[in-house]
Amino acid sequence: MLKIEQPITIVSFLFDDFETLDLMGPVEFLAALPNVEMNYVSLAGGLISSRQGFQINTELLEDLPLNSILLLPGGQGVRKMVEDKVFLTRLERAIQQADLVLSVCTGAAFLAQLGQLKGRLATSNKRAWSWVTSFDSEVRWQRQARWVVDGKFYTSSGVSAGMDMTLGFIADFWGQSLAEELAQKAEYNWHRESDQDPFYDR
C-alpha cells in the first residue's frame, strides 16, 4: 500500500508514439505533490518520441523502488508494443513491483493483455473500445466512466480523462482540497465524479 508520508517514486514507462497528453496531463498534477520524485524510463533508455513529436530523454527501466507508482500512457504506439514480448515481460515485472498503477487511455490494453485486469473493473478510450476490450473478455469493462479504480489499478478513458483520473487519485490519497487546488491552479475543469462522462456513447 502506498505510504504518502514517505518518499514516493513515480515512474512513467514510455515507448515511441505514446500520446503526449496521456503523459503530460497527469504529470502536471503529479509533479506538484509533496515528497515525490518523477522518473521517465523506457525499455532501452534514451530518447523517446511521442505521437505528436514531443521528445523526452529516458533512463533504462530497472526495478521499481519501494513505495512507487507506475504511470502508463496510451497512444498509437500501444498497438505495436502490446505484441512485444520483451516489453510485456518488463512491464509485468514493473506492475508487480509498483504499489499503484495509473493507466491512461489505451494503456489499459497492456494491462488486459497481461491478465492484470481479469475480474476487475476497468475502462479505456471509447474510440478504441472494441480493440482494447478484445484483449480480455473477463475484465469488467465500464464504458460510462472517466476513470475506474479497482485494487491497485486506476484506469482512465481517453486522453484528457487521465487528468481527471489523476486528480481523483490525488483526492483519494491527499484529500479533495489538494486536488481542487491543483485543478484551480491549472485552470482545469475537473470532472470530479468518475462516472460523470460527457463522452459516453458519442
CATH 3.30.465.10 fits 8-185, yes or no: no
Q: What is the pLDDT of residues 77-114, one digit of tens each?
A: 999 999 999 999 999 999 999 999 999 999 999 999 99
pLDDT at 133 over 70: yes
User: To which H or E segment does residue 171 belong?
Assistant: helix 161-174
Question: 118 pLDDT band (50/70/90 cuts)?
Answer: very high
Locus of grid cell 489523476: 166
Q: What is the pLDDT of residues 140-180, one digit of tens each?
A: 999 999 999 999 999 999 989 999 999 999 999 999 999 99
Q: What is the pLDDT of residues 24-80, one digit of tens each?
A: 999 999 999 999 999 999 999 999 999 999 999 999 999 999 999 999 999 999 999
For the chain, the domains span: 8-185
| Summary mean pLDDT of the chain | 96
User: To which H or E segment does residue 79 belong?
Assistant: helix 78-81
Claim: this prediction has a pTM higher than 0.75: yes
* 77 CB burial (10 A radius; 0-12, 13-18, 19+): buried
